[in-house]
Amino acid sequence: MAKITAAEVNKLRKATGAGMMDCKNALVEAEGDFDKAIEVLRKKGQKVAAKRADRDSSEGAAIAKLNADETVGVAIVLGCETDFVGKNENFIALANQLAEIALSCNSKEELLAADFGGMTVADKLVEQTGVIGEKLEITAFEKLEAPYVGSYVHINKIAALVGLSAKVETADVLAKDVSMQVASMGATTLSYKDFDPEYVAAETEARIAVIEKDNEELGRLGKTLKNVPQYISMSQLTPDVMAQAEEDAKAQLKAEGKPEKIWDKILPGKMERFVSDNTTLDQEQCLLDQNFIKDEKINVAKYVESHGDVSVLGFKRVTVG
């Protein structure tokens, strides 16, 4: 039997991340051959991976990485089975290594086929499944390219990327703030202009039905009823709709006995309230139309405008679980 030294065991441990005893046993089985020992560990990983194939890798780490000139960003999630492993320093280090590789890839499939120290990323995940004893997989992959890309990661559970149209002086602050908005508020699209009319119509009908049902119960209990909006998106607020809303507001002011000479001071606020009450879908799902989390008096679009001649071109978001 080949004599296995501590230095050889340590070398294999550094190369694979496997435990000391696993490395020693692999070297013994491989009769001291380093490459064969790696293959022994890999086969062990394959056996463990096969046994755990039906497990749910709903925990893990979300990572965002940018290239050197901040024009390309990737966000990935390395999934595992337990939160304990997901918080492990070595696991997070592996996730960061994979994210660095992902910068050169255009899809999850390309990442899995990419080189990781002489093996594919897919094989590395199998190997580490044997080392860690839990199913590991890339559960999310997103890439974004723009003249300037920024990112934000929330406790390795959510990672967000934002692409800007220009690298203005405050681009780093702007991109990070908007990335934080994406991570926190979970927008699904950039603007209400991206909505399909059929989707908006169906969503309007559904939301009104829910509010009306809630109001039946509130009325029965003698509580204040919720406002039932006519619309839910700016895409529905045509010039004719806005003109009618203004006429309705003027009629209300007249009925309240407000002098016509002060209507100009009151109408802007009423119209602003009308828009707010009738764009709930936009506020929930459209990044630029959401209230800015650091100053809810303005929306994200207004915040972006405050940074000069720059716009948001796109965003990506990945989450653990």
DSSP string, 119-188: EEHHHHHHHHHHHHSS--EEEEEEEEE-SEEEEEEETTTEEEEEEESS--TTHHHHHHHHHHHHHHH--S
Helix or strand (DSSP H, E) at 78: strand 72-80
φ, ψ of residue 167 to 5 degrees: the values are -95, 75
Spatial distance between the Cα atoms of 11 and 37, rounded to a whole number of angstroms: 11
Given the candidates 3.30.360.10, 3.30.479.20, 3.50.50.60, 2.60.40.350, the CATH classification of the domain at 59-176 is 3.30.479.20
CB-based contact 12:20 (threshold 8 Å): no
pLDDT tens digit sequence for 269-312 = 999 999 999 999 999 999 999 999 999 889 999 999 999 999 99
CB-based contact 13:19 (threshold 8 Å): yes
pLDDT tens digit sequence for 188-201 = 999 999 999 999 99
Give the position of tokens 């959510």.
Answer: 158
pLDDT tens digit sequence for 246-266 = 999 999 999 998 999 999 999
pLDDT tens digit sequence for 143-187 = 999 999 999 999 999 999 999 999 999 999 999 999 999 999 989
Which residue has better confidence, 36 or 153? 153
Q: Where are the alpha helices (DSSP H) in the chain?
A: 6-16, 20-29, 34-51, 83-86, 89-102, 108-113, 121-132, 171-185, 197-220, 239-255, 263-277, 280-285, 300-305
Locate the domains of the chain by residue range. Answer: 6-51, 59-176, 193-306
| CA 112 vs CA 57, 108, 228, 268: distances in Å | 17, 6, 50, 55
Query: May I ask the CATH class of domain 6-51?
Result: mainly alpha
Spatial distance between the Cα atoms of 117 and 157, rounded to a whole number of angstroms: 27
CB-based contact 4:28 (threshold 8 Å): yes
